[in-house]
Chain A
Amino acid sequence: MNPQDLHRVSLEAPPVEGLDSLLRERQPGRDLWAGIEARITPAVAVRRSTPVWPYALAASACLAVFVGVLLRQPSPRPDDVALAQQSSSAFEVATAAEGGSFNNHPYSNGDRPSPTAALSPRTLRMLRSESLDNAPALVAERAEASGLMKATYAAGSGRNSHGQQAILRANLKLVAQAEREVRRALLSDPNSASLQSLLNVAQEKRAVLTSLLVHDPD
Chain B
Amino acid sequence: MRTTTIAAFLAVASLAAHAAEPRSFTDHRSLNGDAKLSVRNLAGVIEIEAWDKAEFDLAALLGDSAERIEISGTAADLKVEVKNRKSHSSYGDGDTRLKLRVPAGASLSLDGTSSDIVVRGSKGVLTARSVSGDIDLSVGSRVITVQTVSGDLRLEAPAAKEARLNTVSGDVDVKGASGLLVAESVSGDVEVEGGTFTQLDLKSVSGDIGVQAGFAAEAKVKAESLSGDVRVNAPASLSAEVTMKTFSGDKHSGFDAARDASDGKRMVLKIGEGRGQLTLTSFSGDVTLDKQ
| Residues of A near any B CB (own CB < 8 A) | 52-53, 55-56, 59-60, 62-63, 66, 69-73, 104-107, 120-122, 124-129, 132, 135, 157-160, 162-164, 167-168, 170-171, 174-175, 178, 181-182, 185, 188-189, 192, 194-195, 197-198, 201-202, 205, 209, 212, 217-218
Contact = CB atoms under 8 A, between A and B. Distances in A.
Contact of B170 (A59, A129, A168, A212): A129
B245 A70 contact: no
A159 B5 contact: no
A70 B15 contact: yes
A125 B206 contact: yes
B167 to A, nearest CB: 9
A174 B187 contact: yes
Contact of A164 (B2, B95, B131, B228): B131
Interface in B1-21: 1-2, 4-5, 8-9, 11-12, 15
Contact of B284 (A105, A158, A212): A105
Interface residues of B, number: 55
Contacts of B56: none
Main secondary structure, interface of B, reads: loop
A186 to B, nearest CB: 9
Given A63-B11, A194-B245, A73 B113 contact: no
B169 A126 contact: yes
Interface stretch (B72-80, B147-155, B157-165, B251-259): B147-155
A174 B188 CA distance: 11
B226 A174 contact: no
A160 B206 CA distance: 28
5 contacts: A69-B90, A129-B132, A159-B95, A170-B150, A174-B168
Contact of B224 (A125, A168, A198): A198
A52 B168 CA distance: 57
Contacts of B226: 121, 178, 181-182, 185, 195, 198
B224 A128 contact: no
A181 B207 CA distance: 13
A77 to B, nearest CB: 16
A185 B227 CA distance: 10
B131 A178 contact: no
Contacts of B95: 159
A69 B12 CA distance: 12
Interface string B242-280: 000101100000000000000001000000000000010
Contact of B149 (A158, A167, A178, A198): A167
Contacts, number: 179
B88 interface: yes
Nearest to B88: A70
A162 to B, nearest CB: 8
By Cβ-Cβ distance, the 8 closest A-B pairs, closest first, are: A121-B206, A127-B150, A194-B281, A59-B8, A178-B205, A127-B169, A52-B1, A159-B114
Interface in B51-108: 86-91, 94-95
A19 to B, nearest CB: 45
Contact of B168 (A120, A159, A175): A175
A160 B90 contact: yes
Contact of A212 (B149, B184, B225): B149
A171 B186 CA distance: 9
B203 interface: yes
A125 B150 contact: no
B169 A171 contact: yes
Nearest to A51: B1
